[in-house]
A = this chain, B = another copy of it.
Amino acid sequence: MSEVIAKSKAAKEAATVLNTLTTTQKNEALLLMADALTSEQNRLLAANAEDIERGRAQGTSESLLDRLKLTPQRLAAIADAVREIVELPDPVGEVIAAFDRPNGLSIEQRRVPLGVIGIIYEARPNVTVDAASLCLKTGNAVVLRGGSAALSSNRSIVAVLREALSRSAIPEDALQLIEDSDRKSVDEMLKLNGLLDVIIPRGGASLIQNVVQNATVPVIETGAGICHTYVDESGEYAMAEAIALNAKVQRPSVCNSMETLILHETFARKHFAALADKFREADVALKGCDLARVLVPSIESASAEDYATEYNDYILNVKIVKDLDEALIHIRRFGTQHSECIVTENSANAERFLQEVDAAAVYHNASTRFTDGFEFGFGAEIGISTQKLHSRGPMGLPALTSTKYRIVGSGQIRT
């Protein structure tokens, strides 16, 4: 039996125990996990140092090594994040609907754990702790498959967390790490219907596409974001400038940052030159449509491919349109249904934008950067879903649950 199958079977067995635990029992286990991350700090840092050393020897960039690196401060922050998950309300057991039927049947719909969740992710070892905590809090067993660059760190983290679980009501087998770094172990997970209930990919576009294209297990797709900000004719300049700059440069590397700024022609003729200066001061390289280049000749030309690119970088496309309709058409063609914003003082146009744009989050006069579990007040998030089924947008704990109908009768039969 392969590592993937053996560990997934063990996880499934453990899930049946997890399903019977109380919120208190689960929280106690999470607190033991948090404590272990600091009390076993030296072991974890030593394992992490192996990853860093191996990465440096293989020529990994310093910025990637920095994402991989653990420090006492970072470990403390990771442990604190677990303690924050303890404080969140447990969705499991929540009665979503309860009703009686004319034949006397009493029907309740309750939240239940999904069962066993597979997480496929890349380098950062904090995801290991984060995903494990969110899954266990919601009564799910979890099978983690992290990137090989962090293998020593992940192995050590999971060992420490499992030791903590062994002193709790949660079976240690509820937390599994696939150590086989061959790509085949991912392929195997993707087809493990019957053992894994869902797979959540966390990482770059190619990781996510591999999962979406090849999984037969249901997937929650997260990640890709080509987000637009559209400044309407009536948009206030100061507000538009603040929102557009924030959406682009506050953290360009994340999915809710802006890739294309769409300007109404009237607004652009008045303000684009000034706005372009602001972006230049912020080190953002601009690419634009023909009219944008007439107004600001120094910028490069933007191709259809540029409009379809998630830069995650200090690069911005500028598209000038003659009206809201043209903006909506551009967004429909190039958007990834993540986060889209209109800056306008025209409430009819705002309502049309909010209604007609098909995206997880649509904004009127606020930065797309707010699409985030913490910013929405959900606490920790497992990711931002860019699909329409199950959960859309920032996923809090309820996204890690399913439901079950409980029907209580007194001998009813169907006639």
Q: Which residues of A contact B (CB under 8 A)?
A: 16, 19-20, 99, 101, 105, 107, 109, 112, 114-115, 193, 197-198, 212-213, 216, 218-220, 236, 238-239, 242-243, 245-246, 250, 332, 350, 354-356, 358-367, 369-371, 375-377, 387-390, 392-393, 402-415
By a CB distance below 8 angstroms, the chain B residues around A387 are 218
* Contact between A19 and B358, CB atoms less than 8 A apart: yes
Residue of B nearest to A405 (CB): B361
State whether A414 and B250 are in contact (beta carbons under 8 Å apart), knowing that A20-B355, A366-B407 are contacts in the complex. Answer: yes
Contact A393 B405 (CB under 8 A): yes
**Most B CB within 10 A of own CB, among A242, A393, A413:** A413
Query: Are B198 and A407 within 8 A (Cβ)?
Result: no
Query: B406 contacts A354, CB within 8 Å?
Result: yes
Beyond the given A16-B356, A360-B404, A367-B412, please list 11 additional residue pairs across the A-B interface where CB-CB is below 8 A: A112-B358, A115-B358, A197-B388, A212-B216, A218-B387, A243-B411, A361-B404, A362-B404, A363-B409, A371-B405, A393-B404
What is the bound-complex CA distance between A220 and B356, given in angstroms?
A: 25
Q: A238's closest neighbor in chain B, by CB? A: B411
CB distance from A395 to the nearest CB of B (A): 12
Q: Identify which of B213, B363, B377, B411 contacts A242 (C-beta below 8 A).
A: B411
A411 contacts across to B, CB distance below 8 A: 236, 238-239, 242-243, 365-366
Residues in B whose Cβ lies below 8 Å from that of A405: 360-362, 371, 376, 392-393
Question: B112, B236, B389, B407: which contacts A218 (Cβ < 8 A)?
Answer: B389
State how many angstroms separate the Cβ of A25 from the closest Cβ of chain B: 14
- Whether the pair B220, A408 counts as a contact (CB closer than 8 A) is no
Most buried by B among A219, A246, A364, A405: A405
Complex CA distance for A392 and B405, rounded to whole angstroms: 9
Residues on the B chain within 8 Å of A403, using CB? 392-393
Q: How far is the CA of A175 from the CA of B256 in the complex (A)?
A: 34
Who on chain B is nearest to A357 by CB?
B404
Q: Which of B105, B112, B355, B389 touches A402 (beta carbons < 8 Å)?
A: B389
Q: Which residues of B contact A360 (CB under 8 A)?
A: 404-405
In the assembly, what is the distance between CA of A12 and CA of B19, in Å? 41
Nearest CB of B to A22, in Å = 12
Output the residue of A239, A389, A408 with the most chain B CB within 10 A: A389
Find chain B residues with CB under 8 A from A412 CB. 365-367, 370
Give the chain B neighbours of A212 by CB distance below 8 A. Answer: 193, 216
B residues in contact with A197, CB < 8 Å? 388
- Residues from chain B with a CB closer than 8 A to the CB of A390 are 389-390
User: Shortest CB–CB separation between residue A374 and chain B, in angstroms?
Assistant: 10
Q: Are A366 and B408 touching (Cβ within 8 A)?
A: yes
Chain B residue numbers with a CB within 8 Å of A393 are 109, 403-405
| Closest residue on chain B to residue A107 by CB atoms | B376
